[in-house]
Amino acid sequence: MSLVEVEEANPVMASAPIAPYNSSPLGNSSSPNASRESLKMEPLADVAMLPGEERVIDKDIIYICPFNAAVKGKVFITNYRLYFKNTDSEMPVTLDVPLGVISRVEKMGGASSRGENSYGLEITCKDMRNLRFALKQEGHSRRDIFEIIFKYAFPLSHGMQLFAFLSQEKYEENGWNVYEAMEEYRRQGVPNSEWRVTFINKNYELCDTYPTILVVPYKATDEDLKRVATFRSRCRIPVLSWFHKENHAVITRCSQPLVGMSGKRNKDDERYLDLIREANGTTKLTIYDARPNVNAVANKATGGGYEGDDAYQNAELVFLDIHNIHVMRESLKKLKDIVYPNVEESHWLSSLESTHWLEHIKLVLSGAIQVADKVSSGSSVVVHCSDGWDRTAQLTSLSMLMLDSYYRTLRGFQVLLEKEWIGFGHKFASRIGHGDKNHADQDRSPIFVQFIDCVWQMTKQFPTAFEFNERLLVVILDHLYSCRFGTFLYNCESARESNNVRAKTVSLWSSVNSDTSLYINPFYTPESSRVLYPVASMRHLELWVTYYIRWNPRIQHQQQSPVEQRYKELLVLRDQYLKKLEELQLSDSTPSSTHLTNSSTPNAATPNQHITHLQTPF
């Protein structure tokens, strides 16, 4: 839905009858074979519990629904979710909120508060919504529910385990096997005469936030790597992310050099970057610094900095002007203010512009396009920001998505996330705050959400280029917060290994790959050599309405594209015709073919007549 369509839809929002309200995230339904052994109370409304999920408390409560006013009902709290179902209204109102989504729980009003429904709880969520509940003002009626929600929403702050470690879900597919580093590098065409695999980081001794398997220039020795690590922030040395099979240009990623105020130099680092350049004979190595120039200069004061022309004479430095994690956090907060609970109608476009969210999306996409274009033309690049785990991950993964059609498949996209985000140490725990009560932590930031938004923008501009659909993107973001799976837990591979995440939790990809039909784009047309260059201009970017405004019941009913729905119906019809044709051809080759053909359709249609139906282009 475009911005104009939202604006046109807003007057309808004020007058149309309100549909039944259901606030359940996509992909958050329980598995059909979920265990109910732990249920000692009444059945949990209409929801099957997950294996390992246990009931904690039920309570009569009033949900102050921003769309349906106050609704009486019952709230059920488990060790995984908050579930509310109304009891006093003809129209069903339900909430199904994984506790991992909760960012903040506050008490609303006091014992002496006046006014209806002024005493209760206010819950701030990480997924663009807030919840308010009211209780009776007598005998500290909210104390128990407040303490239980606070405890189970923030288990790490209370010495408890995240739900992913308690879950007993079982799937035939093991999602942890989706990504194998060596297999992926071989697919790209490395190792080769220019690039080699090193296991210097097998015990995380070189860099504790990098994966164990790294690909580096063939001519660089392990001793060289150790010396370069001393001059890069967090020891995050330049390593290969992607290799272009035809022109041998590469995308490498790292952190900022430790230049400092005195303008330090490191001959090993300078020579190492030259080895990257020489690997495919690039005339000048392009270094993309994701930061605004002024920020990169300011980082010198804290010991960081950027590659100066005098030290790196065979390199060209380009600043991409993408702002830091704090700017992105404030931008998304502003966006939430104008879309929840109601869309700001009177000045929609100016309100949206004031959030700068689409402006940031544009800058990230624009940077990735520059990286992809440079590599496509045969020049190798180095990408970094400050520490190389936020903006760097956005730029490398988006440019790889543009250059390599494999990453645009359902399986390939999972590999891309595992490699560039999870493997290379995007700080999911710090940015999302899994199980942590410190909602004001300055490390929180929607960097990964912003990346998924950029992917969505690309799927809108190239609707046939991606094997996966929008539903996959929404499910990924839902489980970024839910703590149901181990995929996005912890800050880096070494932390996941020390917490035995692979053995003790289930991968999100186990769930996704157990029913891939839910996530397939029916318009997908494979094109192996096509490079995608999205248009990164404000006129071509849209607000992702079906994610950011999905809790509004009027938006919920517009989520299914009529074109996509019709296309799916036609595909089903085609399958029916093919099945009928198969039956007719089979019957034609048997002795009793005449009888079977006559009985297969009322008009005794021949196989040839059915074939003409199949020639209709869907």
Question: 408-442: b or e for each residue (b if 16 or more CB lie within 10 Å)?
Answer: bbbbbbbbbbbbbbbbbbbbbbbbbbbbbbeeeee
Question: 510-521: b or e for each residue (b if 16 or more CB lie within 10 Å)?
Answer: bbbbeeeeebeb
Helices and strands (DSSP H and E) totals, the chain: 22, 15
What's the rounded Cα separation, in Å, for the pair 423 and 46? 38
* Stated length of the chain: 618
Element (H, E) at 579: helix 562-588
Neighbours of 557 (CB within 10 A): 11
* Structure tokens that stand for 422 in this block: 């999870």
Say which of 65, 207, 235, 385 is annotated catalytic: 385
- 387 in a known ligand binding site: yes
Cα–Cα nearest to 447, from 528, 512, 511, 387: 387
* Structure tokens that stand for 573 in this block: 């019809």
Neighbours of 147 (CB within 10 A): 12
In DSSP notation, 10-34 reads HHHHHHSPPPPEEE--TT-PPPTT-
What's the rounded Cα separation, in Å, for the pair 78 and 93? 19
Chain-centroid distance, C-alpha 463: 19
Half-sphere exposure of 178 (CA within 13 A, CB side): 29
Give 254's strand partners.
384
- 390 in a known ligand binding site: yes
CA dihedral sign of residues 435, 441, 443, 445: positive
* Structure tokens that stand for 319 in this block: 């600043």
Element (H, E) at 574: helix 562-588
- 325 in a known ligand binding site: yes
Instruction: Look up residue 50 and give its DSSP letter.
Output: P
| CB-neighbour burial class of residue 580 (10 A; exposed 0-12, middle 13-18, buried 19+) | middle
Phi, psi of 454 (to 5 degrees): -60, -40
What's the rounded Cα separation, in Å, for the pair 202 and 185? 17
- Please say if 385 is a catalytic residue: yes
- 389 in a known ligand binding site: yes
Q: How far is residue 174 from each of residues 496, 509, 576, measured CA to CA in Å?
A: 17, 8, 33
What's the rounded Cα separation, in Å, for the pair 313 and 307? 10
State in Å, rounded, how far the first CA of the chain is from the last one: 24
* Structure tokens that stand for 235 in this block: 């020891």
**Which residue shows structure tokens 């996409």?**
365
Between strands 81-86 and 93-98, the pairing is antiparallel
On the question of a cis peptide bond just before residue 191, with omega within 30 degrees of 0, the verdict is yes
Give 69's strand partners.
65
* Structure tokens that stand for 441 in this block: 């932590």
On the question of a cis peptide bond just before residue 238, with omega within 30 degrees of 0, the verdict is no
Q: Which active-site residues does the annotation give?
A: 385
Residue ranges of the binding site: 324-325, 385-391
Residue ranges of the binding site for substrate: 324-325, 385-391
